[in-house]
Structure 1
Amino acid sequence: MVFSSLLFLFLFLPAVLAIYYCSPWRMKNLILFAASLVFYAWGEPVYIVIMLLSTVTDYCFGLLLERPKLSDSKRKGIVVLSIIVNLSLLSYFKYADFLIQNINTLLGTDIPLTELPLPIGISFYTFQSMSYIIDVYRRTAKAQRNWLDFGTFVALFPQLVAGPIVQYSTVAEQLRHRTVDRAKFAEGVRRFTIGLAKKVLLANNIGLLWNTISNSSPDTLTVLTAWLGIIAFAFQIYFDFSGYSDMAIGLGLMFGFRFNENFNKPYMAQSITDFWRRWHISLSTWFRDYVYIPLGGNRRGFRIQLRNILIVWMLTGIWHGASWNFLFWGLYFGIILIFEKWLGLKLLERMPRWLRHSYALLLILIGWVLFAFDELPAMGGYFSAMLGLNGQSLWDTESWYLLYTNGILLVVLVFASISNRTRSRVNTPYLQLVWHAVLFLLSIAYLVDATFNPFLYFRF
Structure 2
Amino acid sequence: MVFSNLFFLYFFLPLNLICYFLAKSIHVRNGILIVFSLFFYAWGEPRYVPLLVGMVLINWIFGLMIEKYRGQKLAKAGLIGACICSLTLLGIFKYLTLILGTTHDLFGLPSVVPQILLPIGISFYTFQLLSYVVDVYRGEVEAQTHFFRLLLYTSLFHQCIAGPIVRYKDISEEILYRQINRGEVARGINRFAAGLAKKAVLANTCGLLADQFILTDAAVADVSRFTQNAAALSAKPAVILWMGVLFFMLQIYLDFSAYSDMAIGMGLMIGFHYKENFNYPYLSSTVSEFWRRWHISLGSFFRDYVYIPLGGSRKGLGRTILNLFVVWALTGLWHGASWNFVLWGLYFFIFIALERLFLNKVFARLPGFVSHIYLLIVVYFGWILFRFKNMALIGVVLKGMFCQNGNPWTTFEANTTLLNYIFFLAIAVIAVTPVVHNIGRAISVASGRSAAWFRVNSVVQVAMPLVLLLISTMSLVGNSYNPFLYFQF
Fold-level similarity (TM above 0.5): yes
| Alpha-carbon offset, residue 438 of structure 1 | 1.3
CA–CA separation in structure 2 for the residues paired with 1:86 and 1:420:
42
User: CA RMSD for the aligned pairs?
Assistant: 1.4
Q: Does the Cα contact within 8 Å between 1:191 and 1:422 map onto a contact in 2?
A: no
Residues 72-108 of structure 1, C-alpha deviation per residue, up to 9 Å, x if partnerless?
3221111111111001111111111111111111112
Q: Could you tell me whether the CA contact under 8 Å between 2:60 and 2:147 is conserved in 1?
A: yes
Q: Normalising by structure 1, report the TM-score.
A: 0.97
Shift of 1:118: 0.6
User: What is residue 151 of structure 1 aligned with on the other side?
Assistant: 151
Q: Which residue of structure 2 aligns with residue 227 of structure 1?
A: 242
Asked if 1:414 corresponds to 2:429, the answer is yes
Counterpart amino acid of 2:354? F
Larger displacement relative to structure 2 (430-439 or 123-132): 430-439
Corresponding residue for 1:319? 334
The Cα of 1:419 is off from its aligned counterpart by 2.0
Deviations 1:212-242 (A, max 9, x none): 1222622112221111111000001011100
2:276 to 247, 254, 261: 261
Structure 1 residue 452: Cα displacement: 5.3
Q: Deviations over 1:413-453 (max 9, x none)?
A: 11111125767635412123222221110100111121152
Offset at residue 334 of structure 1 (A) = 0.7
Q: What do residues 287-308 of structure 1 show as CA deviations (whole Å, max 9, x unaligned)?
A: 0000000000000111111110
Partner Cα separation in structure 2 for residue 325 and residue 384 of structure 1? 18
Distance (whole Å) between structure 1 residues aligned to residue 27 and residue 204 of structure 2: 40
Amino acid at match of 1:77: A
Q: Is the counterpart of residue 387 in structure 1 residue 388 in structure 2?
A: no
Quote the residue 2:196 is aligned against. Answer: 196
Establish whether residue 166 from structure 1 lines up as the match of residue 166 from structure 2: yes
Identity rate, percent: 41
Structure 2 match to 1:431 = 460
For 2:40 and 2:374, locate their aligned partners in 1 and report how far apart those are by CA, in whole Å: 42
> For residue 218 of structure 2, what is the aligned residue in structure 1?
none
| Alpha-carbon distance in 2 for matches of 1:111, 1:166 | 41
Contact 2:337 2:488 in 1 (8 A): no
Contact 2:100-2:109 within 8 A present in 1 as well: no
**Partner of residue 52, structure 1:** 53
- Single out whichever of 422-431 and 193-202 deviates more from structure 2: 422-431
Give the Cα separation in 2 of the matches to 1:305 and 1:238: 29
- Cα gap change, 1:247 to 1:135, in 2 (>3 Å): same
In the alignment, structure 1 residue 456 sits paired with structure 2 residue 485: yes
Verify: 1:441 aligned to 2:456, yes or no.
no
Indicate how the Cα distance of structure 1 residues 365 and 126 shifts in structure 2: closer, same or farther if over 3 A, else same. same
Q: Tell me which of 380, 388, 391 is aligned to 1:373.
A: 388
Q: Which moves more between the two structures, 385-394 or 317-326?
A: 385-394
Equivalent residue, structure 1, for 2:307? 292
Quote the residue 1:39 is aligned against. Answer: 40
- Structure 2 distance, partners of 1:322, 1:239, is 23
Q: Read off the aligned partner of 1:33 and give its amino acid letter.
A: I
How many residues align? The count is: 459
Aligned partner letter, 2:461:
Q
In structure 2, the partner of 1:237 is 252
| Match runs of 1:344-355 below 5 Å | 344-355=359-370
Query: Which deviates the most, 73-82 or 242-251?
Result: 73-82
1:336/1:421 CA distance change after superposition, 3 Å: farther
CA distance in 2: counterparts of 1:130 and 1:421, whole angstroms: 37
Displacement, 1:161?
0.2
User: For 1:333, which of 348, 357, 362 is the aligned residue?
Assistant: 348
Distance 1:421 1:255, change over 3 A: farther
User: Is the aligned partner of 1:29 residue 2:44?
Assistant: no
Matched-pair contact (CA < 8 Å) for 1:196–1:243:
yes
Which position in structure 2 is the counterpart of 1:399? 414
Contact 1:244 1:455 in 2 (8 A): no
1:434 to 1:300, Cα distance in 2 relative to 1, 3 A: same
**Range that drifts further, 86-95 or 391-400:** 391-400
Q: Quote the residue 1:121 is aligned against.
A: 121
Letter in 1 for 2:169: S
Tell me, yes or no, if structure 1 residue 140 matches structure 2 residue 169. no
Secondary structure of residue in 1 paired with 2:109? coil
Give yes or no for contact 2:197–2:469 (8 Å, CA) kept in 1: yes
Contact 2:208 2:481 in 1 (8 A): no
